[in-house]
Structure formats: structure tokens, C-alpha cells
Amino acid sequence: MFITVHAAAATVIGKNISSPIIAFLLGLLSHLILDLIPHGDSKMGKRFWGERLKFLQEKGDLKFMALYGSIDSFVLAVFLIFLFKNFEFARADNVIWAIIGSILPDVLVAVYKLKEFRIIKWFYKLHNKNHNLLVNKLNFDLPLQYGILVQVIILTVIIWTIYLVK
């Protein structure tokens, strides 16, 4: 799921939790819960995109990750600027730590993919298992374009909520 969706959800959570540590943990938990929603990326990666985007064929996964990660991070940066410029509540520690908690899982996953640090292997596996849990159970994932649409809708609802809790 796009990292911005996670960060936006964590913003709402952080706003309602006064303890930064609990906000951090709930941010982390919210990441895993949101990932459960089938959102079209269970088969992403070289095989999916390699067929569509020729330039990704040669270097495979890493090139794909770099492209996807860059776009994802850019959108996150725009969201965070929007958030911190417009909402004073978002500058509080509880909100910031909730956001960090919500982003951390995908950072760990990316680090593991690049470096394969043994110490985070369990988390990498847990994240993947969780991410595909419902998709595998239902034996269904949305086509990616609908998955993106679902994520945009979720993001819109959350941003609307951010305005309401302001």
C-alpha cells in the first residue's frame, strides 16, 4: 500500500493518542491492518511490471523497487509538507511518532530486501504474510488500477477526517 495512506491514517491515530510511545505502536499496528485490505499489489514486482515496462526487464526487482520507492516517497513528502503547513496539531510528538510507526514497516522491508540483515528477517516475513493474508484467503486481489483507486479513495476519506479532527 502507498506509504502516504499509512502516514495519513497514523495522523488521525496520533491526534487521538496522547502518549507518543502508544501512538508509535498503534501507528505500526495500523500499517499491518491497512495492508490487509486487498489493494492490487500482491503480485507486484519484476514479473508484473517487467511485462509492461520494458526498461525494468533487465535489472528486475531492484530497478522496480527504486522506481516505485521514489514515487512513493515523493508523494509522502508532498503529503507531509501539506500536513505540517496546514495543521498545527500534526507537529505534536504523538502525531509524529504515530507517523514514524506507520512508515517503519515498509522501511524495514526495503532494508531487508537490499541488505538481508538477519535480525529483521522475521519482520520481513511477518509483513509479507500479513500483507497477503486476506488476498490468499479469498484467493482474490483487485487489479492494480482498481487497487490504486481504492487507495486514493481511502486517502481522500482520511484527509477529510484530518480536516474534521483539526
**Residues within the interface to Zn ion (CB under 5 A):** 35, 105-106
* Pick 34 or 56: Cβ nearer Zn ion: 34
Three-state SS annotation for 17-35: CCCHHHHHHHHHHHHHHHH
- Please say which residue, 71 or 165, places its beta carbon nearer to Zn ion: 71
Specify the residue, 107 or 165, whose C-beta has the smaller distance to Zn ion: 107
Q: Of 14 and 105, which CB lies nearer to Zn ion in the complex structure?
A: 105
Query: Least distance in Å: CB of 157 to Zn ion?
Result: 19
Instruction: Give residue for cell 484467503.
Output: 137
**Whole-number Cα distances in Å, 124 to 3, 32, 110, 111:** 16, 12, 9, 9
Helices (H), the chain: 3-16, 20-36, 46-52, 61-86, 93-115, 121-131, 133-138, 144-165
Taking the CB of residue 62, how many other CB atoms lie within 10 A of it? 12
Q: How far is the CB of 88 from Zn ion (least distance, A)?
A: 29
| CB of 89 closer than 8 Å to CB of 162 | no
CB of 72 to Zn ion, least distance (A): 11
Would you tell me how many other CB atoms lie within 10 Å of the CB of residue 11?
Answer: 26
Q: How far is the CB of 18 from Zn ion (least distance, A)?
A: 26
CB of 131 to Zn ion, least distance (A): 6
Name the residue nearer to Zn ion (CB basis): 43 or 166: 43
